[in-house]
Amino acid sequence: MNRQPTPQKITEANARQSTATLGCLLRSARTAALAVTALCAGTLSAQTPAEPALLSQTTLDKIAKMKPLFDGKSLEGWLFCTAGKPVSDAKDAWTVKDGAITSLGAGRSVLFTKDEFDDYRVIYSVRHISGQPDHQPCVLIFGVAPQPGEKALDALGSVQFQAPSTYTWDYRPGKNNDGKEFFTRKNKPKINNHDWCQVELLVHHDGRAELALAQPVGAKAVEAVDFNDPTAGRRGPFGLQMHNKGLFDQYKDIRIEEHPKEDKLITVE
């Protein structure tokens, strides 16, 4: 004859079983919580970009010693022209606003330095405000400045860099194409062109040029585009191009180092 456990024994057995079950549940819950925490940490880490490396004080000091091409207040030292016309007044096309050279969307034109250069480094900040139709900000090198009364070549017959987009164009007489045989794209950094970014352009009289980009201003740059064509090298102005009507861009903190002591990009270090 089988004996039935007493009520007290039943209660103790159930308690032991419940305790064991609860322990398993707690261990499972802890394991799941740790897994979720690790997953969240990994996701947040993946979603949170690393802070950009900043330029060294040594590099900042080098930039500070460079000669300003723009005084932050006026267009003194700059000339204006449109294709097929002599140099004229820039007041309806370019102005100074909030300490920056600003295009007014009036139409295709070039603002270029009165001085001409052969070997030089230019560092400047740029941002694209808007455009209808849209186009990237452009700078020009190896161009031909029109003499007094002389009609200007389109874009001064220059080599064009579209920074920060890394696109390019070759306006030299007989070219007028993307110049892909002479340009080499090294990197295409992710940059919001509506925010200020810093550009370094190193130009050589022998037809070479290297461009580096950084955002935010003051961060280490990435070499983006190189140009190399010995037949392009010439002494000429540094120019800002408004590619078409309806474009609004700004340029500031434009500095130049003629005959650089270091034959290399300094903002990538």
pLDDT in tens, the chain (269 residues): 444 444 444 344 444 444 444 344 334 444 444 443 444 444 434 455 578 999 999 999 999 999 999 999 999 999 999 999 999 999 899 999 999 999 999 999 999 999 999 999 999 999 999 999 999 999 999 999 999 999 999 999 999 999 999 999 999 999 999 999 999 999 999 999 999 999 999 999 999 999 999 999 999 999 999 999 999 999 999 999 999 999 999 999 999 999 999 999 999 98
57-258 CATH: 2.60.120.560
User: In this predicted structure, what is the pLDDT of residue 45?
Assistant: 42
d(CA 233, CA 151): 22
- Domain map (residue ranges) of the chain: 1-48, 57-258
Q: What angle do CA 217, 79, 102 make, to 5 degrees?
A: 40
User: In this predicted structure, what is the pLDDT of residue 50?
Assistant: 77
User: In this predicted structure, what is the pLDDT of residue 226?
Assistant: 98
User: In this predicted structure, what is the pLDDT of residue 156?
Assistant: 98
User: In this predicted structure, what is the pLDDT of residue 49?
Assistant: 59
Q: Distance of CA 17 to CAs 3, 4, 14, 184, Å?
A: 21, 18, 5, 73
DSSP secondary structure, the chain, as one string:
-PPPPPHHHHHHHHHHHHHHHHHHHHHHHHHHHHHHHHHHHHHHHHHSPPPPPBPPHHHHHHHHTSEES--SS--TTEEEE-BTS--B--TTTEEEETTEEEE-S-SSEEEEESS-BSSEEEEEEEEEEEESS----EEEES--PPPTTPPBPGGGG-EEEETTTTEEEE-STTT-B--TTTEEE-------TTS-EEEEEEE-TTSEEEEEEESSTTBPPEEEEEEE-TTT---B--EEEE-STTEEEEEEEEEEEES-SSSS-STT-
- Do 240 and 112 form a contact (C-beta atoms < 8 A)? yes
d(CA 85, CA 222): 38
Question: What is the maximum span of the chain, computed from C-alpha positions, in angstroms?
Answer: 127
User: In this predicted structure, what is the pLDDT of residue 48?
Assistant: 57
